[in-house]
Structure 1
Amino acid sequence: MKNGFIIKLLLIIILSIWLLIAGFVLYIYKELPDIKELKQYKPNLISRVYSEEGELIGEYYVERRIAVPLDKVPPIVIKAFLAAEDARFFEHHGMDIRGIIRATIKNILAGSYVQGGSTITQQLARSLFLSQEKTIGRKFKELVLAYIIDNRFSKQEILQLYLNHIYLGNGAYGVEMASQDYFGKSVRQLNIAEAALIAGLPKAPSTYSPFNNPGRARKRRDYVLSRMLELGFITEEEYRKAINTPLPKENKRIKNLQYNSHLTEYIKQNLIAKYGEEKVYKGGLTIFTSINAAFQRRAYEALDRGLRELDKRQGFRGPIDNFSNDSDKKEAFIKNGPQNIDDLRLNEYYKAVVEDVNIKQKKYLLKLGIFSVSLPFSNMQWAATKKPVETLLKTGDIVYVKILSIGKNNELIASLEQEPLVEGALLSIDPNTGYIKAMIGGRDFIKSQFNRAVQAKRQPGSAFKPFIYGAALERGYTPVSIIIDEPISYDLGFREWTPKNFDGKYYGPTTLRHALAKSRNVVTIKLLESIGTQNAIDFAKRAGIESKLEPNLALALGASDVTLFEMVNAYTTFAAMGKKFEPQIVLKVVDSSGNTMEETTPKSEQTISPAVCYVLTSMAKSVIEEGTAMRAKALGRPVAGKTGTTNNYVDAWFLGYTPNLVTGVWVGFDQPKPLGTLETGARAALPIWLDYTMYAESFYPPVDFIAPEGVTFIPVDAKTGLLASPYSKATKQEVFISGTEPKEAFDPLIHLKKEEYLKLDIDYDEDKKYEPGW
């Protein structure tokens, strides 16, 4: 009787427990998400932007992931993950009781958490459907979900989902993205050591990152390798070789470098306008562009160098900070600095703290992380304009330095630097296609996302003058047409406007070629007045200027705001001999299934006659040969262009072109203010253009512009521009639009009596008898 009662009681208790468990499981089950959506699971995919050479230059994503089929994942990678996370994956049903017990024992024996008990299926369930909270309820849901998933999906399907979905640190989701990030290669190319490192990451991606914690990363990788050996996945020899493999030292994925950021943001905005944010950020698009990645890098470097040089010419602004009275700050600053020599890069910029000055050895001693830095006085002379170099800095000062060399004992030699406040932009277009080859919208995208190559509207100054001269050529003027450079004044009603040349001088009779080369303001204003402002505006619009242009004579001086994009586009029309291209940057877009969504080809229309553009280009070549842009002669090949400087040196421009490339540079402050005395387009912008163009043009043959039909070359008197005669002391070949050639030959008895020739400073023999009428 008593035994029967006890048995009944035990049965009731057991039944109650099972009912409670069943009720709890039923409750949990009802709260579980519907896993049917796994059948149609489409992970968020990364969209990638490529240069014309196939180099990755940008990414758009919510999660950085590239999906890869399981049959493209090498067996060694799968084995590495099984060894690290779930050796009995093919044996259990989503949960592994034996594995949990084994992991618990190993963790106790190790005295630390070395192995987890969650199966791959549990990790997938948690990652896809559950939060990361550590509660019993969440763990039960995870176990139930893992069991359901294991019963509804094959092991291969689970593995494919897991290997594409799992987070592996460094912003990478899935094994393909992680392979490219850590090793710069596809998952298909991973070796044993590389597979083991990636397989060790799911447990704690940041903790075991080879970039953040190389020591822990190696220990974790070697543990995975030992498990692979233990399970018979690799041989002893393979194990020994793998553990001696060095870790990756730098992030192999596309670094979101400043030189690409404005560019890829510009591309992104155009794509979103066409396809929407969902498609761009999650659709796994492949975007092929016209950008030359090497040109893009050089363009950024050239702009950075040029702005730094300009900034230095304005003087040293002093140290960033001083920690002399705060030892804790100084100690933290040093501790947070580089601690490994591999962290340092030559010609990179760093913040360092001044420790002492050695007058005898003529150098400052600084600290950069754990490294000693020598800053020779000779490497900071630019800053010593107001006081001696040895008194510029004091102990505790924080300054920017550039690492110039690394000595045998890791002693660093540096130069003094400072972060430029001035901004700039560069845009380069192929005039044969209208394809954009490089676009730099500013120095630092993190500080400002404003794209100055596209968005900034500024006065172009004299860089606008070619549009005036081009319009004049259409109306019968020629390179040798003469306009008197003399004082002029206009009554504006509320004040007198008395424009002057840059140097304040006047030069009398001046040919249009010489006026453009020397950027004569007075001649250009008089020329604009002669042809009419509306004709000049019409010409500029046909070339590619879209901004509103004010119809007044100040247009001759570039007083209407335009963008660098417009200016380069318009100069491209000159280089293309009157063909106006639609500038393009995205050449092809492919969706995640490989379908082409769009593909572009060059688009152009003839808006200006080739003859006008050729003669105008010939005149613009004189700007380089004898005018304001003579520094560009260093290019060593045919080039045309124009400098531009606005009042008080607020904006500096240079636009130059060859048959291969049209490139424009703008330099200025975002909030307009003077760049500095004599910071003209020739001084502030042209060197940046030259730095970039000398590199870019080295990839092209040195060709000249080809003369189109409708132009004529004839010898003219070098001084007057009249047809050459026996009286001409010097002659030169001049180009004309056919039908506009001079009709008279130079005759000193006739032409030296005319005002426009009288002041041309022509030498002739007064005693010589001339035949009149020549």
Structure 2
Amino acid sequence: MGKIRITIKRVLLGMVIFVFCVCFGAGIGILAGALSTAPSLDDVVFDQNKTTYIYDINGEVIARLYRENRIPVSLDEIPLDLQKAVIAIEDDHFYEHNGINFKAILRAIYVDLREGRKAQGGSTITMQLARNAFLTLEKHWSRKLNELIWTIQIERKFTKDEILETYLNEIYMGHSAYGMEAAAQVYFGKHVQDLTLAESALLAGIIQIPGVHSPYLSMENALKRRAVVLNRMVELNMITPEQAEQAKAEEIKLAGLKPRVSKAPYFVDYILQYLLDKYGEEQVYGGGLKVYTTLDLSMQQMAEEAFLANLPEKQIEGLDVVQPQGAIITIEPATGHIKAMVGGRGTDKFNRAVQAKRQPGSAMKPFIYVAAIDRGITPATIIDDAPVEYHLPNGDIWRPENYNREFRGPVTLRAAVEDSLNVPAVKLLDQVGVRTVIEYAKKMGITTLVERGTKNDVNLALALGGLTQGVTPMEMASAYGILANQGIWVEPHAIIRVTDSKGHVLEEYLPERKIVLNEATAYVVTDMLRGVIERGTATVANIGRPAAGKTGTADDFTNAWFIGYTPDLVTAVYIGIDRQSEQMIFDGVRWGSYQAARIWGNYMRKVVAGTPIKNFERPKNIQNATICAESGQLATENCTKVRSEIFITGTEPKEYCTLHTYQPNRGWNFFGTNPTANPGFWFFGN
């Protein structure tokens, strides 16, 4: 009998040992497997999503790009009161345990069983940090095991201060804010280092359940939770009862939730596409890039104000956004920096400054003037503003007209430019050659001209801006900027430099530069375009200092332009209705280039206010001559309309005015008032 009992005991003991060995072996196997598959701490715990910042030219933040709004700071920047408050309410034995507080876990289990629900947590700060590092929140034993493994690893690898710093930068604080710096800005509009004890306690209280304790959702809940935090800090001798009472009495002043929009939405969208293409979504929205741009935020705000203040509002059936729409873009010609960009008004994503191809009207004429001046024609050249017919390939006859349907007879090129006369522009284009002018436009950066196919731009309608596709405000601004920059084209760009989150330069943009025009040609055309503002069709754009520009109105008042420039800045203003067949008629008034020029003037006056007055740099091979404004020749004492005119050296007139010369036996004014009768004039007639 005794032997049987001994045998049974041995069998039972063997079974226990066997089960223990199996369980122990399985546990070791599971633990080994978990350790082998657990991601690296460096890759996960400290791989926090970081906010990407976009800055203007002066270092002011334009926009923040993030999935998680996170602004990492060092522990030294986080107030001691906030550190204590978090430890008091989340893990009061943080500096004593090795990552797992077994007493707290047992206490939490006891309370949960007593309450019949989950009423208290037992997770330490280290355990919370480990949990947040997982990519999944699935409730599975393997996840819990990994959580414990990581907790132990974190405690072994990092100091307590490093763990606390990471936690305070990692924890979710509600309203898309992650970490204490982002939370301080979202809730109080200040940096974390400037928080008071009362504010610190309130933030610490949010951690447990942001959806319940956020003061934006319930101030009552937030204040109750703050009191709990402060009382716990008193119990732990972190603060005195008097300090707690003072903090409880402090009024909470919230910053107010701000919509997640940038200060220059069209500009930000413009560069965002480039960033996504080059760096990818993960880096742009989580890599903490710092993007330094060319935008001048103060100039941007002036552009937006001028644009919105001068446009009526009309809802047109079939169009989702208010009309008219339009664009403003400002570029610094010497650097290519885009200083301001308004792509429309409203919330649509169509950036009219860059994407809209619109008919430019007379704003296309400067390309003709450039080609003509380059070929020896001068501002004093006489062109006959008289009726003319052109026989088109399809058999039709085209008779171009001026905007007022009147003709002025012989005029100088300068006068034709200032008053935007159509007939002289068409005749000049015909004389210089359509393909020649197209080549100049392409050389100056216009990419949308059509040269092939049944419908193309190789025709005289080019003089009036009647194009197959149209042009964009950005390309027109860049092209006019060449005139301001002594004939040098600099590639327009929006980004100066991009760095990673540690400050390492990822790219530094060096724009392409090339000479595309003779500087003397650029100066002469600029001087004629100054007259447009000072005496011509755009006096409303006069800003009281040297500036040049050109108006443009498409047929039937569907599009209106003004592109103007100072020596330092070029700005294109475009107005139009998104449905291109729709005329701009508001309160019975047709809108055209006058309104575009007015917006330009209102905007640029603010931009240049308080800056030194600067003139366009005059090349050495420019000289003046006093001419007769009626004949374009050197003036005599008998000429009644005399002016000083500029010429590229070698193109100045050599003969004195024959229109106002006394001829023996024939008297004065032999040629009458029509200089076209003089075969010596350089003249473009029918």
TM category (shorter chain) comes to 0.7 to 0.9
Pick one of 176, 199, 208 that aligns with 1:203. 208
* Structure 1 residues 656 and 117: CA distance shift in structure 2, 3 A: same
Report the more deviating stretch, 171-180 or 144-153.
144-153
Q: Give the secondary structure class of the aligned counterpart of 1:217.
A: helix
How many angstroms apart in 2 are the aligned matches of 1:108 and 1:296?
61
The Cα offsets for residues 85-132 of structure 1, whole Å up to 9 and x where unpaired, read as: 222222233333444576789999999999644322232222211644
The Cα offsets for residues 442-462 of structure 1, whole Å up to 9 and x where unpaired, read as: 223x43x22221222222111
Over aligned residue pairs, what C-alpha RMSD do you find? 3.7
- Alignment match, 2:293: 289
Report the more deviating stretch, 750-759 or 588-597.
750-759
* Structure 1 residues 144 and 582: CA distance shift in structure 2, 3 A: closer
The question of 1:733 aligning with 2:635 is answered: no
- Tell me which amino acid in the other structure corresponds to 2:310: G
Pick one of 558, 571, 575 that aligns with 1:650. 558
- Alignment match, 1:429: 331
How many angstroms apart in 2 are the aligned matches of 1:636 and 1:105?
81
- Alignment match, 2:52: 47
The question of 1:559 aligning with 2:466 is answered: yes
- Alignment match, 1:466: 366
Q: Give the secondary structure class of the aligned counterpart of 2:625.
A: strand
- Alignment match, 1:90: 95
Give ranges in structure 1 of 5+ residues lacking alignment. Answer: 321-417, 760-774
* Structure 1 residues 32 and 501: CA distance shift in structure 2, 3 A: farther
Pick one of 387, 392, 411 that aligns with 1:510. 411
Q: Give the secondary structure class of the aligned counterpart of 2:252.
A: coil
Pick one of 755, 759, 766 that aligns with 2:674. 755
Pick one of 228, 232, 235 that aligns with 2:237. 232
User: Number of paired residues?
Assistant: 648
How many angstroms apart in 2 are the aligned matches of 1:691 and 1:12?
96
* Structure 1 residues 249 and 186: CA distance shift in structure 2, 3 A: closer
- Tell me which amino acid in the other structure corresponds to 2:406: K
- Tell me which amino acid in the other structure corresponds to 1:39: D
How many angstroms apart in 2 are the aligned matches of 1:221 and 1:617?
67
The question of 1:170 aligning with 2:175 is answered: yes
- Alignment match, 1:528: 429
Q: Give the secondary structure class of the aligned counterpart of 1:480.
A: coil
The question of 1:688 aligning with 2:599 is answered: yes
Shift in Å, 1:12 = 12
Shift in Å, 1:566 = 0.8
How many angstroms apart in 2 are the aligned matches of 1:699 and 1:675?
38
Give ranges in structure 2 of 5+ residues lacking alignment. Answer: 451-456, 661-667, 679-686
What percentage of residue pairs aligned between the two structures are identical? Answer: 41
- Alignment match, 1:123: 128
How many angstroms apart in 2 are the aligned matches of 1:159 and 1:238?
24
The Cα offsets for residues 320-354 of structure 1, whole Å up to 9 and x where unpaired, read as: 9xxxxxxxxxxxxxxxxxxxxxxxxxxxxxxxxxx
The question of 1:621 aligning with 2:508 is answered: no
- Tell me which amino acid in the other structure corresponds to 2:352: R
- Tell me which amino acid in the other structure corresponds to 1:628: T
Q: Give the secondary structure class of the aligned counterpart of 1:39.
A: helix
How many angstroms apart in 2 are the aligned matches of 1:525 and 1:540?
16
* Structure 1 residues 594 and 632: CA distance shift in structure 2, 3 A: same
* Structure 1 residues 681 and 16: CA distance shift in structure 2, 3 A: farther
- Tell me which amino acid in the other structure corresponds to 1:429: I
Shift in Å, 1:211 = 4.0
Shift in Å, 1:732 = 2.6
Query: Is the 1:218–1:247 Cα contact (8 Å) retained in structure 2?
Result: no
* Structure 1 residues 459 and 155: CA distance shift in structure 2, 3 A: same
- Tell me which amino acid in the other structure corresponds to 1:450: F
The Cα offsets for residues 656-699 of structure 1, whole Å up to 9 and x where unpaired, read as: 11112111112223342324235444244223323322221125
How many angstroms apart in 1 are the aligned matches of 2:257 and 2:471?
40
How many angstroms apart in 1 are the aligned matches of 2:505 and 2:419?
51
How many angstroms apart in 2 are the aligned matches of 1:507 and 1:106?
98
- Tell me which amino acid in the other structure corresponds to 1:463: A
Shift in Å, 1:587 = 1.2
Report the more deviating stretch, 93-102 or 531-540.
93-102
Q: What are the residue-to-residue correspondences of 1:401-412 with 2, within 5 Å?
A: none
How many angstroms apart in 1 are the aligned matches of 2:581 and 2:224?
56
- Tell me which amino acid in the other structure corresponds to 1:562: V
Tell me the TM-score normalised to structure 2 length: 0.84
- Tell me which amino acid in the other structure corresponds to 2:526: T
Pick one of 325, 341, 348 that aligns with 1:439. 341
Report the more deviating stretch, 501-510 or 638-647.
501-510
- Tell me which amino acid in the other structure corresponds to 1:668: G
- Alignment match, 2:549: 641
How many angstroms apart in 1 are the aligned matches of 2:568 and 2:217?
45
- Alignment match, 2:228: 223
The question of 1:705 aligning with 2:613 is answered: no
Larger radius of gyration: 2
- Tell me which amino acid in the other structure corresponds to 1:638: P
Pick one of 480, 483, 491 that aligns with 1:574. 483
- Tell me which amino acid in the other structure corresponds to 2:593: A
Query: Is the 2:412–2:630 Cα contact (8 Å) retained in structure 1?
Result: no
The Cα offsets for residues 132-173 of structure 1, whole Å up to 9 and x where unpaired, read as: 456788667645654554455442332233222222222222
- Alignment match, 1:486: 386
Query: Is the 1:641–1:656 Cα contact (8 Å) retained in structure 2?
Result: yes
The Cα offsets for residues 488-525 of structure 1, whole Å up to 9 and x where unpaired, read as: 22222323323222222222222212212221111111
- Alignment match, 1:497: 398
- Alignment match, 1:408: none
How many angstroms apart in 1 are the aligned matches of 2:429 and 2:380?
16
Query: Is the 2:54–2:63 Cα contact (8 Å) retained in structure 1?
Result: yes
Shift in Å, 1:38 = 0.7
* Structure 1 residues 106 and 757: CA distance shift in structure 2, 3 A: farther
Q: Give the secondary structure class of the aligned counterpart of 1:177.
A: helix
Pick one of 497, 517, 520 that aligns with 1:611. 520
How many angstroms apart in 2 are the aligned matches of 1:652 and 1:713?
35
Shift in Å, 1:40 = 4.0
* Structure 1 residues 675 and 695: CA distance shift in structure 2, 3 A: farther
The question of 1:37 aligning with 2:40 is answered: yes
- Alignment match, 1:249: 255
Q: Give the secondary structure class of the aligned counterpart of 1:57.
A: strand
How many angstroms apart in 2 are the aligned matches of 1:603 and 1:700?
28
How many angstroms apart in 2 are the aligned matches of 1:210 and 1:304?
36
* Structure 1 residues 239 and 609: CA distance shift in structure 2, 3 A: farther
- Tell me which amino acid in the other structure corresponds to 1:694: R
The Cα offsets for residues 598-639 of structure 1, whole Å up to 9 and x where unpaired, read as: 334565322212211111111111111222212112x22222
How many angstroms apart in 2 are the aligned matches of 1:18 and 1:422?
81
- Alignment match, 1:595: 504
- Tell me which amino acid in the other structure corresponds to 2:611: Y
* Structure 1 residues 469 and 241: CA distance shift in structure 2, 3 A: farther
* Structure 1 residues 532 and 99: CA distance shift in structure 2, 3 A: same
Query: Is the 2:438–2:449 Cα contact (8 Å) retained in structure 1?
Result: no
Query: Is the 1:652–1:679 Cα contact (8 Å) retained in structure 2?
Result: no
Tell me the TM-score normalised to structure 1 length: 0.75
Shift in Å, 1:11 = 11
How many angstroms apart in 1 are the aligned matches of 2:232 and 2:114?
16
How many angstroms apart in 2 are the aligned matches of 1:422 and 1:107?
64
Query: Is the 2:371–2:437 Cα contact (8 Å) retained in structure 1?
Result: yes
